[in-house]
Amino acid sequence: MIALLTAGLACLSAGIALALPAAAVPTSAGVVINEIESDDGKNPDWIELVNTSSAPVDISGWILKDDDDSRTDAVPAGTTLAPGAFYVFTAPAMSFGLGKADAARLFRPDGATLVDSYTWTAHATVTYGRCPDGVGGFSQTTTATRGASNACGAATPTPTPTPSPTSAVPPSGAVVVNEVESNGGDPDDWFELFNTTNAAIDLTGYEVRDDGDASDHRYDLPSGSILPARGFLVVQKSVGSAPGFPFGLGSADKVRLFAPDRTTLVAEAAWAAHAATTLGRCPDGTGGLRETAAATKGAANACGVPVAINEVESNGGSPDDWIELVNRSNAQISVAGLVVTDSEITKNRYTIPAGTTIAAKGHLVLEKAAFGFGLGGADAVHLFDSDGVTELDATSWTAHAATTWGRCPDATGSFGETVESTPGSVNACTADAPTAEVWPGGASVRVLDAKNEYPDANLSGLDVADGALWAVENGRGRLHRIVPQGDGWVQAAGWADGKALHYPNGSGRVDAEAVTVVGDAVYVGSERDNDNNKVSRPAVLRYQPSTSASELVATAEWNLAADLPGLGANAGIEGLTWISDAWLTAREFVDATTGAAYVPTRYPGHGDGLFFVGVEGTAAVYAYALAADGGFSRIATIPSPFPIVAEVQFSGDRLWIVCDDACDGRIATFEITPPSAGTAGGTFRQTHLYARPAQTANVANEGFAIGDTCVDGVAETFYADDARTDGFSLRSGTIACTAGSSTPTPQPTPQPTPTVTPTSAPTPLPSPPLAPTAGATTPVSPAASALTGANRGGLSGPASALPGQTVTITVPAALPGQTVDIWMFSTPVHLGAATVTAAHTVSAALPLTASAGVHRLVVTDAAGAVLGWTEITVSASALASTGSDAQSLPTLVMFALIALLAGLGALHRRRRLRRVGEISPAALSDGQGVSP
């Protein structure tokens, strides 16, 4: 994907204040196709772009095509090219190859506006490239220079000589770690070095490490790694077949640069948590490491306030035009004194008032009534720092949006028309970037392991079998068996530090990324041998864990390299699960090799099921029949909706495909509808896209599993954090389930019912207030001490109300259709049970006897777990002070009758579940949700 080493010069004159980077240019200004590889023979084809302008350009969503107009391959969201920077478009984002007589074409996100193109009638001897870069015509180059300046032979101006490699170590402070992306950048983690001197420094052979010293946590900078004078050098994590460091950067981690002697520390940066943007030095080279306003890979750091324009209503919203700002950081920020203007930047200026703040990751809506000017059909919004001159962000449009003009994805993407207006909340984006559904379970997770219990910070794949949790560790290559003990989970007897995994000949250190249990055997998915970590070896290995030995030798290996050519060494198998032939044939699963129903007898010796293998580098899942002799046959390919696959599980008649922090922890489910059901079935098709639990951080969850029992409508879920965030690797949450047979029963997802589009969108009605019902089970009241800042849950409602007044509360952590209980504190008073609406709201009437003053409204789930709480001020009531109002009595009686009937309905909807059973598909269609 992106070129791994991007060098850029920053001409910073001594004594002159460094200006912030200009806002990304919203047009195609300056971005052109620069180099094309159509016939490498060993690696995937690629197309290189370069930004020839003097400002960063956001190319998110731009589309690249060959000579086929049907192509839709797009540049990933959040991709911004710094001035002079290169971007390499290749597999897996690029799904097509380039032919002998073909074309490379660059389009805007609409797929129709052509930005640049080049056609050829024969492969180049090496590559086709512009000479000189970005501005010259295309010609044959002398050397492929993917992600770097083109090698144009004699036609190229003589470059400035670079220093020869030398053993001399640069003076202290000459090289600094200047910016770090540790949370899944584009295309993955990276860090930036800065040269504080006026002479270039050759870093060839210097060694990069994170906070670990194991061999798989080291990387030598390649030949030609020149750090320009007063310039930058970007070092990228390996992606696909491209080189780079082979390890990820964690939430609490380091970047260290050592001299070629492997002992002398040259530069270092450490941090305690991921940044929402990046961590960077402010000012460049000399300042402390802090959260930046935006990622500026290979360019001067953005050291302003981490705030951006996020959404704009220019055509009479409610009540009028408005501008929404977003805080991109993980901490509350002050925006007091920032200046907002429209396109008339000297005439229409609004200074945000003193004391104005935006919560971490929060939104602030500025109304026309405050800023005082209207926004036109062809207009702009500019955001300036408190000096009124330094521009922090800007956006412009040529016509009113039918909805609003907003960033997609929220806070980080480029601007376009949104699906609907969402003032003060996350933007609603297009179907190409679907909004994830609320996680069908608890909103939070709990830690299961002791701090630093897994010292190598590489816990990865998970599986649950017979009440035990199996986990693999990819750095040290170990298998762990973890069992429940009291309220927690501990490593089983005889498995204190896991068991080392080896290949069938007893050698090697298996880079174990995935695990699944079938019968009495454990199968492990591996990317490579960590003792030879630069060579891809995507393999499924079988182990017999019943031995008391401290090390396990594989009893069989299926090396899939021949079927997965071109994979990077660190881009192989990440997920592994098994599905029985009986289940697959019952659903008329289609064998892609025949186009007909899968017939197990066509694959002798494969056992009685297929293995489903998730591959990071291709972002797909493959179904394999693994033969007893080590051979294999691919039966199907299942593309995922993600840029990578981190885990695969099969539970409740669903295939669960997981993406880690690179996709905000989203999980997609896939199901099979048999062809005999009257649809084009027999293949796995996506049915749901879920967000991570609402109250959890976006961490590197490379392992996911669902417990094998359903107790009172709740099953436990498990997450393995490969980055050991805050020192912990293993966490658990919950998911709603339906008790049933331990064997999955054929139950395909019903066909969707066509939706009739209303002529006008109705306003969602609040759920009716419900009163306690005679004979109902007494709900569990939470303790007042259980109400903490950590479990407010984003719950919101009116700031004040009168006794007896019905109030509507928004509960983000609750699921539509879920039955919840509403309480009023200090002394807990049960206001009733209510069913959550599609808008995540519930309603209840305050007691007529409620005393004046500040109270707390609390919402709990059926088990009494707190979903959230908020404060409300009860005002003194005229009714309370005069004693009665005869005219209000009929209304109160009617209200009480409605509340009683609604309460009986809610009780009828509750159901008791058998305590133990397999999760069934109904768990996700009945709208139930639980909290831990």
Q: Tell me, what CATH number does 840's domain have? A: 2.60.40.10
- Kindly report the backbone phi and psi dihedral angles of residue 606, in degrees, each rounded to the nearest multiple of 5, phi listed first: -90, 0
Q: Number of helices and strands (H, E) in the chain?
A: 4, 64
- Reported as a single tens digit per residue, the pLDDT across 539-592 is 999 999 998 899 999 999 999 999 988 777 888 999 999 999 999 999 999 999
CA distances from 358 to 319, 400, 424, 809 (A): 22, 27, 11, 22
Q: Identify whether residues 663 and 526 lie together within a single domain.
A: yes
Task: Tell whether 298 is covered by a domain.
Answer: no
Q: What is the pLDDT of residue 587?
A: 93
Q: Which residues pair with 88 in a beta bridge?
A: 48
Give the C-alpha separation, 247 to 234, whole Å: 16
Q: Identify whether residues 268 and 383 lie together within a single domain.
A: no
Give the C-alpha separation, 885 to 906, whole Å: 31
> How many other C-beta atoms are found inside a 10 Å radius of the C-beta of residue 465?
17
Average pLDDT estimate for 858-880:
75
**Residue 186 structure tokens:** 């584009």
Q: Which amino acid, residue 275?
A: A
In the predicted model, is pLDDT for residue 688 greater than 60?
Answer: yes
**Where is 706: in which H helix or E strand?**
strand 701-706
Question: pLDDT-derived band of residue 28, with 50, 70 and 90 as boundaries?
Answer: very low
Q: How many domains does the chain have?
A: 5
Q: Identify whether residues 662 and 719 lie together within a single domain.
A: yes
| Percent of the chain surpassing pLDDT 70 | 82
Contact of 515 with 472, CB cutoff 8 Å:
yes
Beta-strand pair 414-417/391-397: unpaired
Q: Identify whether residues 285 and 319 lie together within a single domain.
A: no
Q: Identify whether residues 598 and 683 lie together within a single domain.
A: yes
Give the C-alpha separation, 697 to 273, whole Å: 11
Residue pointed to by tokens 């407010």: 792
Task: Tell whether 768 is covered by a domain.
Answer: no
Contact of 443 with 931, CB cutoff 8 Å:
yes
- Reported as a single tens digit per residue, the pLDDT across 873-904 is 887 643 333 333 333 334 433 444 444 344 43
Q: Which amino acid, residue 368?
A: K
Contact of 718 with 707, CB cutoff 8 Å:
yes
Residues 6+ apart with CB under 8 A from 123: 38, 39, 100
Which of 727, 753, 773 is where one domain is finished? 727
Query: Which of 177-186, 252-261, 842-851 is predicted with the least confidence, judged by mean pLDDT?
Result: 842-851
890 CA to centre of own chain: 54
Radius of gyration of the chain (CA): 29
Residue pointed to by tokens 């690249």: 64
Q: Which residues span the domain enclosing 858?
A: 784-877+888-909
Residues 6+ apart with CB under 8 A from 110: none
In the predicted model, is pLDDT for residue 826 greater than 90?
Answer: no
Q: What is the pLDDT of residue 790?
A: 63
- Reported as a single tens digit per residue, the pLDDT across 594-639 is 889 999 999 999 999 999 999 998 889 999 999 999 999 999 999 9
In the predicted model, is pLDDT for residue 371 greater than 50?
Answer: yes
Q: Identify whether residues 671 and 789 lie together within a single domain.
A: no
Q: What is the pLDDT of residue 678?
A: 59
**Residue 135 structure tokens:** 């501005």
Q: Identify whether residues 723 and 812 lie together within a single domain.
A: no
Tell me the CA end-to-end span of the chain in Å, nearest whole number. 40
- Kindly report the backbone phi and psi dihedral angles of residue 803, in degrees, each rounded to the nearest multiple of 5, phi listed first: -55, 135
Average pLDDT estimate for 922-928:
35
Task: Tell whether 437 is covered by a domain.
Answer: no
Q: Identify whether residues 527 and 674 lie together within a single domain.
A: yes
Residues 6+ apart with CB under 8 A from 361: 276, 326, 327, 328, 329, 330, 411
- Kindly report the backbone phi and psi dihedral angles of residue 59, in degrees, each rounded to the nearest multiple of 5, phi listed first: -110, 20
Residue 271: strand, helix, or coil? strand
In the predicted model, is pLDDT for residue 842 greater than 80?
Answer: yes
CATH number of the domain encompassing residue 519: 2.110.10
Q: How confident is the prediction for the chain on average, in pLDDT?
A: 80
Which of 291, 318, 353 is where one domain is finished? 291
Contact of 443 with 840, CB cutoff 8 Å:
no
Average pLDDT estimate for 435-462:
87
Question: pLDDT-derived band of residue 122, with 50, 70 and 90 as boundaries?
Answer: confident
Q: Identify whether residues 530 and 651 lie together within a single domain.
A: yes
pTM over 0.75: no
- Using the 8-state DSSP alphabet, how is residue 353 labeled? P
Q: What is the pLDDT of residue 633?
A: 95
Q: Identify whether residues 138 and 205 lie together within a single domain.
A: no
Residues 6+ apart with CB under 8 A from 395: 26, 309, 312, 380, 381, 405, 415
Q: What is the pLDDT of residue 719?
A: 97
Q: What is the pLDDT of residue 29?
A: 56
Pairwise pLDDT comparison (751 vs 561), residue with the higher score: 561
Give the C-alpha separation, 622 to 563, whole Å: 10
- Reported as a single tens digit per residue, the pLDDT across 64-117 is 998 888 888 999 888 888 888 899 999 888 988 898 888 899 988 888 888 888
Pairwise pLDDT comparison (742 vs 274), residue with the higher score: 274
Q: Identify whether residues 699 and 559 lie together within a single domain.
A: yes
Q: Of the segments 12-21, 444-453, 774-783, 840-849, which one has the largest average pLDDT value?
A: 444-453
Task: Tell whether 485 is covered by a domain.
Answer: no
CATH number of the domain encompassing residue 181: 2.60.40.1260
Task: Tell whether 68 is covered by a domain.
Answer: yes
Residue 639: strand, helix, or coil? strand
896 CA to centre of own chain: 46
Average pLDDT estimate for 235-248:
81
Give the C-alpha separation, 190 to 237, whole Å: 6
In the predicted model, is pLDDT for residue 444 greater than 60?
Answer: yes
Contact of 342 with 348, CB cutoff 8 Å:
yes
Task: Tell whether 930 is covered by a domain.
Answer: no
In the predicted model, is pLDDT for residue 684 greater than 50?
Answer: yes
Task: Tell whether 917 is covered by a domain.
Answer: no
Residue 875: strand, helix, or coil? coil
Q: Identify whether residues 544 and 677 lie together within a single domain.
A: yes
Q: Where are the beta strands (DSSP E) in 826-921?
A: 829-835, 841-845, 853-860, 866-874
Which of 291, 315, 343 is where one domain is finished? 291
Average pLDDT estimate for 398-419:
88
719 CA to centre of own chain: 15
Q: Where are the beta strands (DSSP E) in 409-546?
A: 414-417, 446-447, 459-465, 468-473, 478-485, 488-491, 499-502, 510-518, 521-529, 539-543
Residues 6+ apart with CB under 8 A from 757: none
Give the C-alpha separation, 818 to 906, whole Å: 10
- Kindly report the backbone phi and psi dihedral angles of residue 791, in degrees, each rounded to the nearest multiple of 5, phi listed first: -115, 25
Task: Tell whether 462 is covered by a domain.
Answer: no
